[in-house]
Chains A and B, each alone.
Chain A
Amino acid sequence: MDSSEPLPSGEPDDHPTVPTQRGNEDAYLRVRDLRVRFDTSDGVVRAVDGVSFAVERGRTLGIVGESGSGKSVTSLAILGLHDPRRTTITGEISVGGRQVIGLAEDEVRRLRGRDMAMIFQDPLSALHPYYTVGRQIAEAYRVHHPKVNRRAARQRAIDMLNRVGIPQPARRFDQYPHEFSGGMRQRAMIAMSLVNDPALLIADEPTTALDVTVQAQILDLLADLQAEFHSAIILITHDLGVVGQVADDVLVMYGGRAVEQGSVEQVLRAPQHPYTWGLLSSVPSLHGDADADLLPIPGNPPSLINLPSGCAFHPRCRYADRAGSRSRSEVPELRPAGADGHLVACHLSAEERATFYAEDVARVGVAR
């Protein structure tokens, strides 16, 4: 694979500044034209290719996409947790007014855990198996509060365990992760990430590894804590149902690019991109007609090393022919679609999308 082949998309300069949703000038997190590339032995992986969004304090952005769509890479780039030797990041990431890209590692480290924190998908592997849960939480507190003594840090950790709904927190403090249940572990993980009152919390598929009954509890907990701490949350998921439950805004990613973004109402009620339609109608609805057909998306997520030309979604898009040869030759730009702040990257005209949606998707019924 020749890594010097021309970029499927243009240079950053060719990209128009994408209008993002509401008030992004004073948003806590602002990401503009983020591009993340990995150099691998098989070629260059363009994991994220020109994504822009903003999250204000008190609001939740849901980033949705299949595995390999670039959603987790985006979050790791914000925290600066990528391997700097093999990763190239360009664009802007501003956290509380500070540029993270290009900042010295030690400066970013000071932000991590204090101003921005992360919750991972699998709490069992994300917690250290050899240290007690409490010690790991207290450690997270003491990194950023070096003057706090051991006893005060312990008390702080116990308070946090209590706050996230873990019974007998003082006893639980001294237990190991393997002595916790899955849901309790994720609660402990949340306690650890919130121990320093971060203004930005990134939750990477926080409920995927959990039982369905526990999922709802964890999402409720996150919503409660957000109301209390007034933090900005990025929720990464492949589950639009989860997004509908907790998010204010949605960013749909495909092949490292944003294909649709807008408020939850816009994206879930009036989805514009055929990929979003696919995501919505691959979920059986609990409330609608149980016999309704599902419209699964054919094929597999694309390889990020060798993205399809033009619109990366075209091999899986049932309407690709309607856009003519442009779907294969031209990368669709993210453009305003109807309502204010609603953006979509699709070659189809607004009228065509409205027709197809009414004929094919709305008929099948969409999960909410």
Chain B
Amino acid sequence: MARFLLKRIFSATLTLFAVSVLTFLMFFALPRDPVSSICSKNCNPERLERVRDDLGLNDPLISQYAGYMKGIVTGRDLGSAQGGRCDAPCLGWSYVTNEAVSDTIARVLPVTLSIVIPAAILWLLLGVGLGMVSALRRGTWLDRAAIGFSLTGASLQLYFVGAVLLLVFVYNLRWLPVPSYTSLLDNPAKWASGLVLAWVALAFLFSAIYARLSRAQMLETLSEDFVRTARAKGLAKPKVYGRHALRAAITPVVTIAGLDVGGALGGTVITETTFGIQGLGRTAVDAVRSGDLPTIMATVLIAAVFVVLANVLVDLLYAAIDPRVRLR
């Protein structure tokens, strides 16, 4: 088990290294000169050259990369033009927002986490629950209702569902305030009421996929020999389904959930835009629009970290669920 864990962490580190190199190269491959967008109005060759020097763009590529990575690990001095000392994890200085990128991230990351994590819990419970119920009640009206629900969810778009939710609950019924982000630590009730619509919208769309997937998996598992064995032992249905069938049916759901949650943590652009909340996703889009390269770099890296972490987590969960995986 320890070896399994070490192997996964090693390969995850390699992946992250590759992503960071690629993102860094992208920085230079873009058709836009990072410097020209920084000194937009009163630009002259001397100022251009100074900014270029501040950014370290005159250094060799490798030492630039090394400097960037060093900044993430230990922090570094960026010079007075870029806010001076930049503590670890230093992600550079944004000339667009005029602040350290890590400060921007520290502000918007909790927003995205607050949207995605509760939504993911909700959509997993709802999706897997619906899938199980419809598999066990196959062919009944409950099954049909669940399939109808998941078809609806799978065919709708978030901006539509979000707009309808806003219209009904915020503007017509006035049950909820206009969505906004408040820190969970400051005011949990306000945190929840400001984000609950985003959770519901995300959960509705995502749970559709999970309901269909877990229904199909459960049906397949129910025809397995070991489920028949469990019944032949005289186990009651809740134990047959809950302990024997569910555990085997859940594995593919774990994989998809890992990919979805990992991806969503990298930024939920449409959700954030629909509900007017500034999270990681909108920050990334804004950065692309304004050519704010250090911020783009940071958001891409963070998204990659989440995807890789989610994959490691999925592998560990797999090993916890299925003992045969631990052998590999």
Contacts and interface: CB of A to CB of B under 8 A. Distances in A.
Which of B226, B231, B247, B321 counts the most A-chain CB atoms under 10 A from its CB?
Answer: B226
Contact of A129 (B139, B230, B235, B248): B248
A125 B226 contact: yes
B236 A129 contact: no
B60 interface: no
A104 B108 CA distance: 59
A176 interface: yes
B226 A126 contact: yes
A130 B323 contact: yes
A168 to B, nearest CB: 19
A152 B323 CA distance: 25
B234 interface: yes
A193 B233 CA distance: 7
A111 B232 CA distance: 9
Interface stretch (A2-10, A138-146, A328-336): A138-146
B324 A178 contact: yes
Nearest to B222: A83
Interface in B218-271: 224-226, 228-236, 239, 244, 247-248
B225 A176 contact: no
Contacts of A114: 234
B229 A112 contact: no
Interface in A130-172: 130, 139-140, 143-144
Contacts of B232: 79, 81, 112-113, 117-118, 120, 193
Nearest to A113: B234
Contacts of A109: 231, 234-236
Contact of A143 (B234, B247, B321, B324): B234
A279 B321 CA distance: 46
Interface residues of B, number: 21
A113 B229 CA distance: 10
Nearest to A178: B324
B229 A120 contact: yes
B322 interface: yes
B229 A128 contact: yes
A248 interface: no
A192 B226 CA distance: 13
A143 B229 CA distance: 13
Given A176-B323, A176-B324, A178-B324, A127 B233 contact: no
A97 to B, nearest CB: 19
Contacts, number: 70
Contacts of B248: 128-130
A122 interface: yes
A15 interface: no
Interface string A238-272: 00000000000000000000000000000000000
Contacts of B139: 85
A112 B239 CA distance: 15
A126 B229 contact: yes
A144 B233 CA distance: 9
Contacts of B322: 129-130
Contacts of B323: 129-130, 176, 178
B225 A122 contact: yes
A139 B226 contact: no
Contact of A139 (B225, B233, B321, B324): B233
Contacts of A130: 247-248, 321-323
Contacts of A118: 232
A98 interface: no
A306 to B, nearest CB: 25
Contacts of B244: 128
Contacts of B324: 129, 176, 178
Interface of A: 79, 81, 85, 106, 109-114, 117-118, 120, 122, 125-130, 139-140, 143-144, 176, 178, 192-193
9 contacts: A81-B232, A112-B233, A120-B229, A125-B226, A127-B226, A128-B229, A128-B230, A178-B324, A192-B229
